[in-house]
């Protein structure tokens, strides 16, 4: 039972780590502080064992207090508690005091002061990512200034005073120096990687949001077709490319009657259905725009008279064969289309006017038609 429990917990932890690394889950403040407190507490547990083995009792007792301090930090994160700023200050003060105490007991050469250097960028990162009312930069800067003073204090204390615990064990001195140096660098590297990862994640999130905003600004919210602003850009590009193109102006026949008889919700269903049909037929050949109301303007690139008529006729036929349904009500609709080819001698506005005139001719002569 216990084995299965811890196995599930471990599996859940690995899945959570995988989601974070793949960007599916954001690195929350709770996760950051669990990693920070857990890693520092682990270092203190190792130092606790080491000081016990070598009978360095002042630091042994100090590390017991340190471990209890980080246990209290975990308690502050239990449940819905979010005392992150308090936890940061507790961690910061503990690192400073531990470095000072270790330097006073053993001396400068054991490298405990390096933890003070490692906590400086961690402070900037933690304060910047916390949602606090106080000025984040001010808190982190003051912490860095105080860290500099504490680091120099460690050097002066070791320079002007003798260590409280005398030891001639060169191997212990070298081992602790290497261990402390590695821990300090690991903290710096890990938080640097997390910072780069979050910057990349924020950049990707910003790009995604910009893409959504661009889509909202360039498309019609109901039909998903391009709006007039976007079509103006496509028309200018088509003119500048000096290639032939065709414009097809479409209008839903008797659309006002559909709205008046079945309601605007049914009218929206018809609009979206016809938008889907036109998009499918024009896909890869040009652009479809909701020109206004029930009017749709289609731009066909590199079009001939034959190809533009064929596309227009396919759209007309598919709309005529489509059954539109909402709330157990169904109807057939038809579409009239006016086609005009751009000849390069007139303006785009004149070509649109010709397409609109052809549409009017089709309306006047029975609707459900394609007119060139």
Give 80 or 31, the one with higher predicted confidence: 31
pLDDT of residue 7: 61
Q: Say whether pLDDT at 50 is over 60.
A: yes
Say what the pLDDT of residue 6 is: 59
pLDDT greater than 80 at residue 134: no
pLDDT single digits (tens) 280-292: 999 999 999 999 8
Question: Do 370 and 316 form a contact (C-beta atoms < 8 A)?
Answer: yes
Q: Cβ distance 190 to 12 under 8 Å?
A: no
Q: Which residues pair with 334 in a beta bridge?
A: none
Q: Tokens at residue 276, please? A: 């889907």
Residue 210 confidence (pLDDT): 87
> Where are the domains positioned within the chain?
2-215, 228-371
Q: Each residue of 348-372: pLDDT tens digit?
A: 999 999 999 999 999 999 999 999 8
Mean of pLDDT values over 314-341: 92
Six-digit token string for 67: 């471990």
pLDDT tens for 255-304 read 999 999 989 999 999 999 999 999 999 999 999 999 988 999 999 998 88
Q: What is d(CA 228, CA 3) in angstroms, rounded to the nearest whole number?
A: 64
Q: Which helix (H) or strand (E) holds 288?
A: strand 286-292
Q: For position 132, what pLDDT does the model report?
A: 60
Contacts of 164 (CB under 8 A, 6+ apart): 58, 104, 105
- pLDDT over threshold 80, residue 15: no
Continuous segment of H or E residues that includes residue 252 = strand 245-252
Residue 104 has pLDDT above 70, yes or no: yes
pLDDT at 135 over 90: no
Rounded average pLDDT over 313-330: 92
Mean pLDDT of the residues in the chain? 86
Pick the more confident residue, 88 or 23. 88
**In the chain, what percentage of residues exceed pLDDT 70?**
90
Amino acid 141: pLDDT: 87
Give strand pairing partners of 74.
none
Q: How far apart are CA 114 and CA 182, in angstroms?
A: 10
User: Which H or E run contains 341?
Assistant: strand 335-342
Confidence of residue 105 (pLDDT cuts 50, 70, 90): very high
| Distance (Å, whole) CA 173 – CA 107 | 10
pLDDT at 96: 94
- Overall average pLDDT of the 329-336 stretch: 92
Percent share of the chain, pLDDT over 90: 50
Distance CA 183, CA 115 (A): 8
Mean pLDDT score, 54-82: 87
Please spell the DSSP secondary structure of 114-160, one letter per residue.
HHHHHHHHHHHHHHHHS--SS-HHHHHHHHHHHHHHHHHHHHHHHHH
Which residue has better confidence, 116 or 31?
A: 116
pLDDT over threshold 70, residue 167: yes
pLDDT at 370: 93
Q: Where are the alpha helices (DSSP H) in the chain?
A: 2-21, 29-53, 57-76, 84-106, 114-129, 136-160, 170-218, 228-240, 255-262, 264-282, 305-321, 348-364
| Residue 125 pLDDT class (50, 70, 90 cuts) | confident
- pLDDT above 90: residue 61: yes
With beta carbons less than 8 A apart as the criterion, state whether 288 and 282 touch: yes
pTM of the full structure: 0.60
Model confidence at 131, pLDDT cuts 50, 70, 90, reads low
Angle 90-95-101 (CA atoms, 0-180°, nearest 5)?
A: 120
Closest CA to 285 of 313, 314, 246, 254: 246
Dist CA 300 CA 307 (whole Å): 9
pLDDT, residue 128, reads 74
CATH code at 228-371: 3.30.70.270
CA-nearest of 326, 328, 323, 300 to 313 is: 300
């Amino acid at each position: 039972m216990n084995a299965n429990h811890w196995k599930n917990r471990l599996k859940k932890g690995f899945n959570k780590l995988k989601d974070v690394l793949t960007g599916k889950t954001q690195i929350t403040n709770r996760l950051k502080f669990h990693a920070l407190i857990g890693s520092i507490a682990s270092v203190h547990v190792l130092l606790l064992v080491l000081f016990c083995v070598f009978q360095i009792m002042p630091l042994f007792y100090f590390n017991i207090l340190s471990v209890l301090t980080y246990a209290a930090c975990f308690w502050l994160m239990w449940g819905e508690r979010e005392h992150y700023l308090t936890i940061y200050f507790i961690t910061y003060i503990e690192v400073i005091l531990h470095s000072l105490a270790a330097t006073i007991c053993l001396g400068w050469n054991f490298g405990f002061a390096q933890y003070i250097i490692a906590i400086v960028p961690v402070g900037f990162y933690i304060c910047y990512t916390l949602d606090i009312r106080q000025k984040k930069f001010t808190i982190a800067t003051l912490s860095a200034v105080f860290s500099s003073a504490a680091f120099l204090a460690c050097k002066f204390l070791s320079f002007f005073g003798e260590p409280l615990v005398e030891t001639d064990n060169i191997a212990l001195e070298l081992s602790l120096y290497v261990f402390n140096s590695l821990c300090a660098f690991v903290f710096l590297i890990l938080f640097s990687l997390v910072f780069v990862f979050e910057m990349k994640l924020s950049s990707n999130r910003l790009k995604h949001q910009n893409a959504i905003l661009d889509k909202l600004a360039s498309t019609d919210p109901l039909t998903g077709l391009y709006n007039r602003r976007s079509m103006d850009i496509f028309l200018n590009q088509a003119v500048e490319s000096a290639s032939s193109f065709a414009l097809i102006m479409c209008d839903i026949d008797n659309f006002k009657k559909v709205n008046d008889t079945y309601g605007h919700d049914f009218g929206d269903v018809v609009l979206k259905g016809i938008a889907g049909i036109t998009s499918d037929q024009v896909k890869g050949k040009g652009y479809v725009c909701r020109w206004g109301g029930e009017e749709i303007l289609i731009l066909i690139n590199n079009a001939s008279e034959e190809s533009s008529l064929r596309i227009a006729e396919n759209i007309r036929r598919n709309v005529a064969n489509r059954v539109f349904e909402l709330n157990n009500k169904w109807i057939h609709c038809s579409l009239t289309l006016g086609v005009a080819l751009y000849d390069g001698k007139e303006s785009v506005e004149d070509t649109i006017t010709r397409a609109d005139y052809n549409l009017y001719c089709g309306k006047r002569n029975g609707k459900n038609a394609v007119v060139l």
